[in-house]
């Protein structure tokens, strides 16, 4: 914990930009605890009892059990459905302007404060239980990033993760099974390329405002030089490290178990992992679709140096 509170490195960006991979690589650093997408703790962890990254259902994970005790005196002392409802009333992109102004409107502040207080307790408990100097949260949403300004007892840094919108759109068009559910089969959401391209543009414009002095990381740069990018992110999180023992080669990492709340299926992976660019779209995406994405994702494509 720094003088300003628990250090949190928040990864912002649109889904399918590589955030789970980067979150996992960061999480293997001594002194760092990766929690995956903490924003889903109330819904997917406490209410749906989905699997933790360790493979246990949420209520069977010893790590999260201890976090619940530290934060609230036990999960049975809080009402997750009520907190989820409150989250839905404050953690929305339409409230980002309200969160960014110095004087938050009183009516909104009354809704925001109790929720932000609960989130603050969570981060503090995670850092204490894990014995971590830095908590990595890959919740991604711009509104969740903006909300961190109002969370007491934390020192949050935001990195905006961007990936070529063609790759993002291609990934959203595929069918992927979710191993998270503890009852039956479920699939990750599929969304068409036009909607994804438009969303890519608006999310990135919003995140650029929210991150203020934080950093930008291109997924492609991470894949190209993962160790260099990892060091940069840790420095942004205020953590100076000498060795990164997770790198067993220039593009190879060894993954241990992380107690992640949500994320893509990679969060369950352990053992050696090759980091390589997921660029199937370059060969497989039809030209017309590619142009459609380029058009709708403009002008952030220029800002983040992506060719049409």
Contact residues for Zn ion (CB under 5 A)? 52, 54, 61, 63, 259
- Which candidate, 193, 234, 186, places its Cα nearest to that of 33? 234
Question: Least distance (Å) from Zn ion to the CB of residue 189?
Answer: 24
Question: Least distance (Å) from Zn ion to the CB of residue 270?
Answer: 12
Query: What residues are paired with 9 via a beta bridge?
Result: 136, 157
Residue 28 CB partners (closer than 8 Å, separation 6+) = 245, 246, 253, 254, 255, 256
Question: Least distance (Å) from Zn ion to the CB of residue 6?
Answer: 20
Closer CB to Zn ion, 78 or 257, in the complex: 257
Question: Least distance (Å) from Zn ion to the CB of residue 56?
Answer: 5
Closer CB to Zn ion, 52 or 134, in the complex: 52
C-beta of residue 137 within 8 angstroms of C-beta of residue 10 = yes
Rounded Cα–Cα distance for residues 195 and 4 (Å): 40
Quick count: other Cβ atoms within 10 Å of Cβ 115?
A: 22
Closer CB to Zn ion, 140 or 259, in the complex: 259
Residue 107 CB partners (closer than 8 Å, separation 6+) = none
Closer CB to Zn ion, 45 or 193, in the complex: 45
C-beta of residue 132 within 8 angstroms of C-beta of residue 31 = yes
Question: Least distance (Å) from Zn ion to the CB of residue 258?
Answer: 8
Q: Tokens 């001594």 correspond to what residue?
A: 30
Closer CB to Zn ion, 35 or 96, in the complex: 35
Closer CB to Zn ion, 53 or 226, in the complex: 53
Question: Least distance (Å) from Zn ion to the CB of residue 201?
Answer: 36
C-beta of residue 125 within 8 angstroms of C-beta of residue 93 = no
> How is the beta sheet containing 32-34 ordered, strand by strand?
32-34, 134-140, 6-12, 154-162, 215-218
């Amino acid at each position: 914990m720094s003088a300003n509170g628990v250090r949190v490195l928040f990864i912002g960006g649109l889904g399918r930009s590589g955030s789970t991979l980067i979150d996992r690589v960061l999480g293997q650093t001594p002194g760092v605890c990766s929690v995956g997408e903490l924003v889903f703790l109330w819904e997917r962890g406490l209410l749906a009892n989905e699997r933790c990254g360790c493979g246990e259902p949420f209520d069977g994970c010893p790590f999260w059990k201890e976090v619940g005790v530290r934060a609230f005196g036990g999960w049975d002392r809080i009402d997750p459905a009520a907190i989820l409802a409150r989250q839905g009333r404050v953690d929305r992109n339409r409230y980002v302007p309200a969160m960014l102004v110095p004087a938050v409107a009183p009516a909104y502040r009354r809704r925001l404060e109790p929720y932000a207080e609960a989130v603050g307790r969570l981060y503090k408990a995670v850092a204490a239980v894990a014995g971590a100097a830095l908590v990595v949260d890959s919740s991604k949403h711009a509104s969740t990033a903006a909300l961190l300004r109002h969370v007491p007892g934390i020192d949050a840094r935001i990195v905006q993760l961007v990936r070529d919108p063609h790759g993002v759109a291609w990934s959203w068009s595929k069918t992927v099974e979710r191993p998270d559910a503890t009852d039956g089969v479920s699939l990750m959401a599929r969304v068409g390329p036009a909607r994804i391209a438009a969303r890519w543009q608006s999310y990135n414009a919003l995140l650029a405002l929210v991150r203020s002095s934080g950093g930008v990381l291109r997924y492609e740069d991470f894949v190209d030089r993962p160790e260099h990018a990892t060091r940069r992110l840790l420095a942004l999180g205020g953590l100076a490290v000498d060795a990164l023992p997770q790198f067993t080669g220039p593009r190879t990492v060894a993954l241990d178990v992380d107690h992640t709340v949500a994320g893509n299926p990679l969060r369950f992976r352990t053992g050696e992992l090759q980091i390589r660019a997921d660029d199937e779209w370059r060969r497989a995406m039809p030209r017309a679709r590619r142009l459609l994405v380029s058009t709708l994702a403009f002008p952030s494509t220029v800002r983040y140096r992506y060719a049409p």
